[in-house]
Structure 1
Amino acid sequence: MAAALELYRTFGVGGTTLKNVSDASEVPLGNLYYYFKTRSQLVLAVLDECEHELQTLLKRLSGLSPVAWLDAYFEWLLTDPAAAARFGCPFGALALELRALSDPAADRAAETVETYFRAVCVQTVALGLPLTFADDLFTAVQGSYTVARVRGDAAFFQASIQRLRDRTMQTIGAV
């Protein structure tokens, strides 16, 4: 799953074959076909992995106050700017590609992005901020991912997210 996910994030679903996954994971192609008869089955398994990544993050942040949650969220965003510049959003990039390919799994990927977005909404609303704040914050984060990926610029992503963090913390009075 890790190899497939990295290949999808690097080359896209359309640019990744089961043979590529076999080679990258060092799993014989026949064994891969045993578990995943079609590319669609592999895509769904990768989406399960994405959902697991998101749930792991949300579980780690659960129980924090909304201010601490948002700060930890920004810390997570800043964990690996190089990966952000290389892959884009770990959830949104795959969802966007599946939608562009009219892949049947696109709705499933969109659900993961929606879960991610709702988590940000819950925290901002808990702080008494309007939903539009969550909209703007989430859109700015996604824009930072997109521009960093287009430019291949980890420093841009890091600086952009840090500015968002600073402005958010200032807005909520946590500075």
Structure 2
Amino acid sequence: MISETGHSKRPLRSSRNRPTPRRRNCSWLWPPSAPPPRHDPLDFTGRIPILACHLDDLKENGPHAAIWWRFGSQQWQTLTDALAHAEHTARVQARLDAEHQAERETRHQRLEATRCPGCNRRCDEIDTGRPSDGTSLCGDCQTKAWKAERERKQQAVRDAHAARWPCLA
């Protein structure tokens, strides 16, 4: 129904009755910059060690004997060994060494992939100019190639002039 002024007499709908637009999860558009860290179930770094012993052994042998059992360990240990958790430290160090070695190999492979096809230098061996990406020439080789091409063209022009006007040569 429209009034004389041309406006509808219907009451305006409230915006709160309208459904809110659903937000889309677009996280797949932006890949994470680094993979999430792997969780090692045997990594006790920053954890409080849980130690146990029999009270009879404690009375009989004293606190410095191999009467302590560290949860997650395989044998009875002295108190200092149980607190130090040497096998865990060695295992974590071995894992860190392996990860460091893998990173060095990856970095080396990336550097090897950037060898210039002209001079066979890697990008870290080039002091001046633009380094190569492995598919194109580095700045130094490109300059040499441009100069050689320009010299070849100039020589071709000189040869053409000498063939056309032999007396000028």
Tell me the TM-score normalized by structure 1: 0.23
User: Greater helix percent: which structure?
Assistant: 1
TM-score, length-normalised on structure 2?
A: 0.23
Larger Rg over CA atoms: 2
Indicate the structure with greater strand content: 2
